[in-house]
Amino acid sequence: MVIAARSEAELASVEREILSAGGRAARAQVDLSRAGGARRVIEAALGSFGTIDILVNNAAILHDTEFLDVTEEEWDSVMSVNLRAPFLLSQAALRIMKEKRAGYIINISSTAALQVPATLTTYGTSKKALTGLSEALYETAKEHGVKVIVICPGMTDTEMLRGSTPGAG
């Protein structure tokens, strides 16, 4: 498994859990809001395991901001991580998976995509767009034997959620 995060401490902690359970892990310390972050994740997977069988797009950030108060910087940062990164990662992974005619791409959306709360304008909008991206990806991938799934979980106990408004998830 390749794990990616901005924090070296988080990567080390998750890697220890994977190794203690008997798994194999590679790490990619990246900021997915930056150009090249997705590329480094794919390179880590190929360098460590030679291929990609499953991609889980789970990285997300959230700003707890009312619609009229959302700044361009907030909008751009959320869309970069929550939408552009899954697009780039999926595109790169699909190129590899289609050669094998096998693979899974799993996009983690949110129930906030089903009805976007006013205080979660950027997050909810990005997750709704991720659902649309998943539909387009599904249509492209199916002819190559690759499965695409989008999951919309409710609130999950994460550090991101603990710092936000109820209704995020």
How far is the C-alpha of 94 from the C-alpha of 80, rounded, in Å?
Answer: 20
Domain for residue 168, yes or no? no
Lookup: tokens for 106: 């799993």
Is position 37 within any domain?
yes
DSSP code at position 55: E
In this structure, the number of other CB atoms found within 10 A of the CB of residue 21 comes to 8
Quote the pLDDT of residue 118.
87
Average pLDDT, 10 consecutive residues per value, the chain (169 residues):
94 96 96 90 96 97 92 96 97 97 97 90 96 97 98 68 47
Q: What local confidence, expressed as pLDDT, does residue 128 receive?
A: 96
Where residue 56 sits, what CATH number does that domain have?
3.40.50.720
Is 128 contained in some domain? yes
Within a domain: 100: yes
Task: Give the largest Cα separation in the chain, rounded.
Answer: 49
pLDDT at 155: 60
Active site residues: 123
Instruction: Examine residue 169 and state whether it is found in any structural domain, yes or no.
Output: no
18 belongs to a structural domain? yes
- The pLDDT assigned to 15 comes to 96
- Report the 10 Å Cβ neighbour count for 110: 26
Query: How many distinct structural domains can be found in the chain?
Result: 1
Does a structural domain hold residue 10?
Answer: yes
Does a structural domain hold residue 156?
yes
Residue from 47, 147, 46 nearest 102 by CA: 147
The answer to whether 123 and 74 are in contact (CB under 8 A) is no
Query: Comparing C-alpha atoms, which of 41, 1, 8, 4 is closest to residue 22?
Result: 1
43 lies in which domain range?
2-162
